């Protein structure tokens, strides 16, 4: 497919904030593909609509083109000085829009590079050509790589219209976000390729157990909806995690039912474990393979799981030298390194606490009730210091729930998880329902749970905090519109060590203007790409005029910890904030 056609779709999607209109644009686009039977680029189109080059379960190559190089290429291509391009960029805040403005006006002056090409006869780019070029850029290293990358970029730009260049540069800088959520894309795929919105749950379910929407879309286009019904869990491919909701403790039993199960909620890192014989893979919440970080856990799985093949879920927690006392998450975070892994494994031993079994040999258990999954899990685990089952009890009333919560906190846990044991207590991959409810606090007068926010802006510190950022703006996520809405300023709870760590981390995310996907009326000293997640506590959620778009903020927010195990879209959602405000 010609990139020009996809760029036109991007433009239409960007031009509306109405979800139904977006679905119409997407479904019409996919309907045209279906009618043409040209399915070659369907997977790539879906990835780009998601704002990425490949799915989350694959490692995308780093393109390695800085904004400075793009300005240089744009200057040569347009004949306009780099300083003037920078001025426009600072005003517009978007390298794609900057290029579109410059190239739309470029009529009189041609660059030397342009004279090497017969611009009038040039062919427009295909989507596959862009992918091939970007792969070549990513693989180009060593002496002369700058000039080689610059040459490839310039050759792409000469074959693009101003509108195409706008989106090409956004792809290269990983800022191609056109405001559509994954669920909206699924709606468009459903109507475009099947013509019946009743098929949406089939596609969404397939995506949740095989979270590569590009592959799902390619299969749908080529083989139809019946092929999607055959999608199943595969060893080596992580499924999307089931998530827990939060409600006041007095309403928990009403939601999950009586009796229910309650488990310790641990202060560690959630893992999805895929065991195939002696091969063990550990996947994070972000669906990244982090097996190399925990070689001791992999070995413990081989020793202590009494079955050849299984997919399990658990939480890895840092322990003391005697495996008696759990240590905080901050200690565990030191295990996140690529070098000296064996040494740090000895310095910080860990225990894997298992709480669910999703697949046993070739049998999927996710459609089975939770008690059946738990019973099957208990049968295959040989508990040792390094591997244990999460503490679990049956709860009959709220008093028992509170007693168990207090015991959990006394033993160093974050809180508890209440889980339904009804017939319909299946594992709902990728969903946040009321089968699982987390409880992390009972204290009166304070917010009963923590909030995960994505950092979108920062203010320079003063006095003792001079030289680092002293205050950050945290945002919550709106999955319906794929936006990050400013929620609160955080200026308390930082240690000197944390402030230095964040200062170094933020260098990777600093941008000169507000990112496209951020909604914020505040004006920080430094804007940040919404990539980095932290956990905060506060007294209460309040109505707010300062953060008027969202309408809510937090009173007395305090930093608790960095959440490297979570991506920005794992942040607390707008809907959750609204629910917490209503129930606090």
Q: Which element (helix H / strand E) includes 503? A: helix 496-506
Q: Which element (helix H / strand E) includes 478? A: strand 469-478
265: annotated active-site residue: yes
Given the residues 149, 265, 483, 514, the one annotated as active site: 265
Conformation bin of residue 236: beta by default, left when phi > 0, alpha when psi is -120 to 50? left
**Taking Cα atoms as reference points, which of 173, 131, 138 lies closest to residue 156?**
131
Helix, coil or strand: residue 305: strand
Helices 162-172, 95-105: crossing angle, 10 deg rounding: 160
**Taking Cα atoms as reference points, which of 126, 9, 133, 1 lies closest to residue 73?**
133
CB atoms closer than 10 angstroms to residue 374: 22
Distance CA 314, CA 493 (A): 29
Distance CA 270, CA 291 (A): 13
Helix, coil or strand: residue 197: helix
Tokens of 433: 């329902």
Could you check whether the bond before residue 259 is cis, i.e. omega within 30 degrees of 0?
yes
**Taking Cα atoms as reference points, which of 473, 555, 459 lies closest to residue 520?**
473
In the block, which residue shows the tokens 């997640």? 533
Residues carrying an active site annotation: 265
């Amino acid at each position: 497919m010609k990139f020009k056609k996809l760029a036109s779709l991007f433009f239409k999607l960007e031009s509306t904030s109405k979800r139904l209109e977006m679905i119409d644009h997407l479904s019409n686009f996919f309907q045209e593909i279906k009618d043409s039977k040209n399915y070659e680029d369907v997977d790539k189109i879906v990835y780009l609509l998601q704002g990425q080059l490949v799915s989350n379960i694959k490692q995308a190559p780093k393109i390695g083109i800085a904004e400075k190089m793009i300005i240089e290429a744009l200057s040569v291509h347009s004949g306009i000085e780099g300083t003037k391009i920078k001025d426009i960029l600072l005003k517009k805040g978007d390298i794609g829009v900057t290029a579109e403005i410059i190239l739309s006006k470029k009529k009189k002056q041609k660059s030397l590079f342009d004279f090497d090409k017969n611009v009038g006869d040039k062919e427009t780019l295909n989507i596959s050509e862009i992918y091939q070029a970007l792969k070549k850029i990513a693989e180009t290293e060593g002496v002369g790589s700058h000039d080689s990358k610059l040459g490839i970029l310039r050759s792409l730009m000469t074959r693009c219209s101003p509108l195409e260049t706008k989106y090409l540069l956004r792809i290269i800088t990983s800022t191609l976000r056109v405001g559509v959520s994954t669920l909206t894309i699924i709606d468009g795929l459903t109507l475009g390729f099947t013509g019946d919105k009743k098929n949406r749950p089939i596609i969404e379910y397939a995506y949740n157990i095989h979270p590569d929407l590009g592959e799902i879309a390619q299969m749908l286009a080529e083989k139809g909806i019946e092929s999607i019904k055959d999608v199943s869990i595969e060893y080596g491919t992580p499924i999307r995690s089931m998530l827990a909701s939060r409600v006041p403790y007095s309403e928990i039993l009403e939601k999950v039912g009586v009796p229910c199960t309650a488990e310790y909620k641990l202060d560690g890192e959630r893992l999805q474990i895929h065991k195939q014989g002696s091969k063990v893979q550990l996947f994070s919440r972000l669906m990244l393979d982090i097996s190399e970080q925990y070689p001791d856990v992999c070995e413990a799985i081989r020793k202590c799981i009494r079955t050849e093949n299984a997919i399990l879920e658990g939480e890895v927690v840092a322990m003391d030298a005697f495996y008696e006392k759990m240590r905080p998450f901050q200690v565990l975070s030191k295990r996140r390194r690529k070098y000296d892994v064996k040494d740090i494994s000895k310095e910080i031993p860990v225990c894997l606490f298992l709480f669910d079994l999703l697949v046993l040999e070739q049998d999927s258990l996710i459609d089975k009730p939770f008690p059946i999954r738990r019973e099957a899990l208990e049968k295959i685990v040989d508990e040792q210091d390094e591997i244990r089952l999460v503490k679990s009890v049956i709860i009959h009333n709220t008093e028992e729930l509170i007693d168990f919560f207090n015991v959990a906190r006394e033993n160093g846990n974050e809180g508890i998880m209440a889980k339904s044991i009804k017939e319909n207590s299946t594992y709902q991959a990728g969903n946040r329902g009321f089968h699982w409810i987390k409880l992390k606090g009972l204290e009166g007068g304070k917010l009963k749970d923590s909030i995960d926010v994505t950092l979108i802006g920062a203010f320079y510190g003063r006095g003792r905090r001079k030289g680092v950022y002293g205050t950050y703006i945290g945002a919550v996520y709106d999955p319906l519109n794929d936006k990050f809405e400013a929620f609160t300023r955080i200026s308390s709870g930082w240690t000197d060590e944390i402030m230095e760590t964040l200062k170094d981390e933020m260098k990777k995310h600093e941008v000169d203007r507000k990112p496209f996907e951020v909604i914020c009326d505040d004006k920080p000293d430094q804007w940040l790409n919404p990539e980095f997640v932290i956990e905060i506590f506060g007294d209460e959620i309040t109505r707010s005029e300062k953060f008027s778009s969202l309408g809510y903020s937090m009173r007395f927010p305090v930093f608790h910890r960095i959440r490297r195990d979570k991506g920005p879209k794992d942040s607390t959602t707008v809907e959750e904030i609204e629910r917490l405000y209503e129930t606090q």
